[in-house]
Each structure stands twice: as structure tokens, then as C-alpha cells.
Amino acid sequence: MDRTETRRRWLAACAGTTVAGLAGCLEDDPSEAETDDRNTTDEGTTPSDSETDTTVAADAWPMYGVDARNTGHHPDATGPKGEVEVKWTLEADDSFVSSPVIADGVLYASSRDGYLYAVDVDSGELEWKTELWFSLSYSPVVADGTVYASGRDTLYALESNTSDVLWEREIERGEWKHATALRGRIYITDGNRAIALDRQDDTLEWDYDVLSNSSDVPAITESSVFVGTSDQLHAIDIETGNREWRFENENEAGMTISEPATDEETVYIGAQDNNLYAVDSETGEGVWRFEQSTGSIYASPSIAGDTVYCASLDSHLYAIDIQSGTEKWSASADNQIGNKPAIADGVVYVGSVDDHVYAFDAENGDELWSFETEDGIFAGPIVLDGVTYVPSSDGRIYALEEK
């Protein structure tokens, strides 16, 4: 059993209370961050000043959480708002437990059968598939014609049209997780470190040793990389790899079960203590925490406008006001929701262990439609050009369009 399945099985629900102010923030002295012997920095290529955009193209969903900030919100995408039907399905020999990505009209998806698939988004026809490892659990990322995919102890850079391997990088401990691409670099965690690599030749630019389990994907702004570690949230300087600050959960509860997301000003991350935390991105000070959930906030939150959307293991999706941390609305499923919501054109899409994917009105939480697969949905859907793509444990990815 891999770590993704293990975490899902041991997480348990416990009671929450109300929104409250935060304490327990550790703000480090800058001099300490500069000399922290846990961090090692190698010489590498400085990203071009002209490549500083954290947004994505209108016709792409190129990485987990859609953009480097891991917002889960595509401002230019559209998806079905009414009842849906299947446009096509991709079938594998094992389950899909990570979100697919899309670039240049091709969907890329990792399956537990060990293959990375490339599929034409219009026809559903297979472009290619390549075997990377016996079980793949993390999303690839596509940048400039290259697909970067995690094969447990090896990170692969593949030519997107042919699947030819351009380079591969092995690690001695841990396993590669979801990769994020920004400004000529790949940012990735391996369970023990946050790492920045040159995209072209895998040169190590810096690594930051967290000494404990790290969140599966970082959230990145123009200046900082945010990663959860055990009961803490760390801010890392994007150029040097030095620590800027760290926020500590006063309840000493795990903050690695949820990947962080940021809107530049604030970082949002869920925790095992049933709380969603909002932390100032510049200072590391707590802004608020949302405590209404009665289950762990396992899934990564998503952000659109003045609202944070988070799924809870108490089987609810919560919409939370960004300024106050108070609940706007909640919607329920018939079982746990453990994946990241996708937001597009006023609709929130999320999957559940109850075998359904749901579409909720982002403004009021009304259910617009639901679709049943043949097994639980552990990874978040993605949305583009009127279609929702749903990875399921039944071994299929469903392309759903409005009837």
C-alpha cells in the first residue's frame, strides 16, 4: 500500500468549533534563515525576468491546481452547468488517483497501472502511453512541449509529442510528488525536501530539507515557495532556497495532509485538527482559522475571487469568506470528499468517495448536477472548453459535456 492510500485510511474525523484568531506563529530571524544548515543551495540558472507570470494560458490546465499558486481556479475555462453525458472515456488497467493535465489539445494522465497516457481531448483517441513505474499516484506537469512526470524514485522529462525521455533524475529516499513549473524551473517535493530544478537539464538550484513529511505540492508566488511540513507551514525564498518564516499549528496537528494554495497575499492550508488556516504570506502571521468542519481538511483548498473552497472528510464542501474566515455556504456528499475542487465560470467541481463528481454553484452552493462513476473519486476533476475531466478509481477518466 502506498503513502497516498495509507493517509486516506488513517485520517479520521473529529469535532470542530468556531472561527477563531490564530496563535503559534514562529517568525524566524532573517539571519537565522540565511545560515540555516538544513538548506543547501547550488549554483543554477536564474529565471528570466520576462518569465514571471503565475497564470496559465486560456486553453490549458497544465499542472496540479492549474497554476503555480495552486488556486484550482481557471478564470478563462468553462465547464458544463447542466446535466452531463459522456463524451469519451480513457480506460486503464488500474485506477486513476491523481488529476490529469491538459496542454496543446492533449490530456496527460498518470495511472496506478504504471503508465503515463497522452490522449487527444477532442476525440479521446490515445496519442501514446509509456510505462514509468508499477504504480503512478501523482499528476504530471506540462511546460514548453515537455511533460514532467513522477515515477516514484525517478522524475522524468518527456517530449510531449513522442514520450521520448529527455532526462531523468533519481532520488535516494522518499518519492517524487506532484511537480510545478514556473520561470524555467521545476518545483517539487519528495516527502523530505522542497526542491528547485532547472527544467532543461535537471540541475539542482536549491533544496530545502524539512526533516519531516512534506505536502505533496508547493504553492508558489513570484517571491516565495510555500510547503507544509508536519505541523508547520514554511515560506522559502524562491531564489535562494532559504527559509523566510514558518507558521506552527498551535494544536500540533498535521498540516501535510493538505497542499497549500495562495492568492499572493495569504496562504491557505488545511490540517488534521479539522481547521483551515489562513496565514499572511509576507509575515507568516495567522490571519484566521475556519473550524466549522468536523473532519480533517485533507484536500487542498481552492481560491476564486473573495472565496476559499475546501473539501472536508466530514463529507462537506465549504465556501469561506476570504476576509473574515466565516462560512458562506456548505454542500454535502454521501461520503468523504478528499480531493481538490476545480473552479471555472462560477461553478465548483469536486469528486467524492461516494463514486460521484458534483457541480455546485460557486455563489450559493446549489447542486447543478452530479455524475456517478463505478468507484470512488480520490483525485480532483479539471475543467476546460466546456468539458469536465474526472479521474476515477474504476480505472477510467471520464470526459463529461453538457447534454
CATH of the domain at 162: 2.130.10.10
Domain region containing 248: 3-45+54-402
Backbone angles phi, psi at 350, to 5 degrees: -155, 150
CB neighbour list of residue 368: distance below 8 Å, 6 or more residues apart: 81, 82, 347, 359, 360, 361
pTM for the full predicted model: 0.86
Give the pLDDT confidence score for residue 363 in this predicted structure.
97
Q: Phi then psi for 33, rounded to 5 degrees?
A: -60, -35
The answer to whether 380 touches 340, Cβ cutoff 8 Å, is yes
The pLDDT of residue 45 is 33
pLDDT at res. 27: 38
Cα–Cα distance for residue pair 71/55, rounded to 1 Å: 10
Number of folded domains that form the chain: 1
Q: Do 398 and 373 form a contact (C-beta atoms < 8 A)? A: yes
Contact assessment for residue 259 and residue 300, using Cβ atoms and an 8 Å cutoff:
yes
pLDDT at 146: 97
- Model confidence pLDDT, tens digit, residues 70-109: 999 999 999 999 999 999 999 999 999 999 999 999 999 9
The C-alpha cell that represents 11 in the structure block: 485520517
Please tell me the predicted confidence (pLDDT) of residue 53.
55
Residues in the chain: 403
C-alpha–C-alpha distance, residues 284 and 305, integer Å = 22
Residue 10 zone, left/alpha/beta (φ > 0; ψ -120 to 50; rest): alpha
Ranges of the chain whose pLDDT falls below 70: 1-54, 211-212
CA distances from 270 to 122, 247, 308, 378 (A): 36, 13, 11, 17
Query: What integer pLDDT is reported at residue 195 of this predicted model?
Result: 93
pLDDT of residue 151: 82
Residue 211: per-residue pLDDT: 65
User: Which residue reads 501523482 in cell numbers?
Assistant: 138
